[in-house]
Amino acid sequence: MPQIIKERLFTPGPTPLLMEGQARTLTATLHHRTEAFKQLMNETLENLRYFFNTKNDVLMFSSSGTGAMEGSIANLTSPGERVLVCTAGKFGERWVELASAYGLETVKVEAPYGQPLSVEEIGKCLRNDGPFRAVYVQATETSTGVSHDVKAISDLVRPLPETCLVVDGITGLGTTDLRPDEWGLDVVIGGSQKALMVPPGLAFASVSEKAWKLIGKSKSPRYYFDFAKERKNLAKGQSSYTPATTLVVGLHATLQYIREVGRENLIANAAMLAKATREAAKAMGLSLFATDSPANAVTAIKSPEGMDSGAIVKEMRSRFGAIIANGQGTMKGKIFRLAHLGYYDALELFAGLAGVEISLVKLGHKCELGSGVRAAQKVYMEHAG
């Protein structure tokens, strides 16, 4: 029976849009080389610093998050230099690919999919295999749903005067407690289509004074993602090249909303939804993929024995118009992922879980209807009072 079906995103990017932000883009008739846009840009950058929880410069690029990741390779290194890449999933592997593309000597500390990085191993590597120009890590590894102990890693890197710590915070920002200034996170990368509630197309990088010093000496080629050039222009409320104007207008609006909600509340909201989802998964008789140090950004759940997770993804899409994420790479077919990034609320989670329960039952998994929702409701009630 064909029915009314509303499309809903439960994916770790793109995420649900704040309609008030989108609406603002419809009436924005501004050119990027005007005073009005400069003011908008300045306010946006100021509020980005609030969102990033830093006093450092936050650079903005019209690109996907990967663009700013590339920038943090190109600007901090010179060809042949040694970097340490901490990798625990598909996005960790992207650091490896980027370092390779720029001719760097890469030393890896790896964790298997679904497990967090060992801080001890990172420490050992820093002591034995350095010196490193930079250390690259994900705050939260979106492909596996694992969160890393960025603070502990920063404690290892901060004392090294010639080594910068670069954190991919694309899904970590707005979901996880990150303190760039207090901990000494030299570069933190973000993207618009995550907790910022804006469509894809903007990438960000906060840059510390320590990083700027290194950038001054590094010789890897860069042009579009030239941090120093961008910093100079942004100081005048200008981007070096034509910015994605409507996205900036939307971001300006969503950042105002995020300031109203409060950064800590936004993070607490994601933490509550993530915990509720983990409890729901267990109540549905499922196992979590990341049992140790699960992320607030996204929860990866193992498909029941013998069931391709792609079938769950498909069922959710065709039955409810609900888009959930499959696993990536070798995790494809084995896990599915539900996100908690940005503009998600409790009712949305309950709806998604009720849909997952039905999809699982339809595919032959034995689970009590309503059991996952109930577990999530309990977590909500513990947290919301």
Where does this chain bind a copy of itself (CB under 8 A)?
1-6, 8, 26, 261-262, 265-266, 268-269, 272, 319-322, 342-348, 350-352, 354-355, 357-358, 361-362, 368-371, 373-374, 377-378, 380-381, 383-385
Which CB, 183 or 343, lies closer to a copy of itself? 343
**Shortest separation between residue 198's beta carbon and a copy of itself, angstroms:** 15
**Shortest separation between residue 370's beta carbon and a copy of itself, angstroms:** 3
Which CB, 79 or 262, lies closer to a copy of itself? 262
- C-beta pairs of 308-316 under 8 Å, 24+ apart in sequence: 308/333, 309/333, 309/334, 309/335, 309/336, 311/363, 312/336, 312/356, 312/359, 312/360, 312/363, 315/359, 315/362, 315/363, 316/10, 316/355, 316/356, 316/359
Strand locations in the chain, DSSP E?
A: 8-9, 57-62, 82-87, 105-110, 134-138, 140-141, 146-147, 164-168, 187-191, 202-207, 298-302, 322-323, 325-326, 335-339
Which CB, 144 or 377, lies closer to a copy of itself? 377
Which CB, 195 or 301, lies closer to a copy of itself? 195
Instruction: Tell me the C-alpha distance between 72 and 70, whole Å.
Output: 5
**Shortest separation between residue 270's beta carbon and a copy of itself, angstroms:** 9
Residue 304: DSSP 8-state: P
**Shortest separation between residue 44's beta carbon and a copy of itself, angstroms:** 21
Angle at 112 between CA 295 and CA 119, to 5 degrees: 65
Which CB, 19 or 36, lies closer to a copy of itself? 19
Which CB, 114 or 174, lies closer to a copy of itself? 174
| Helix, strand, or coil (residue 202) | strand
Rounded to the nearest angstrom, the gap between the alpha carbon of residue 258 and the centroid of all alpha carbons in its chain is: 16
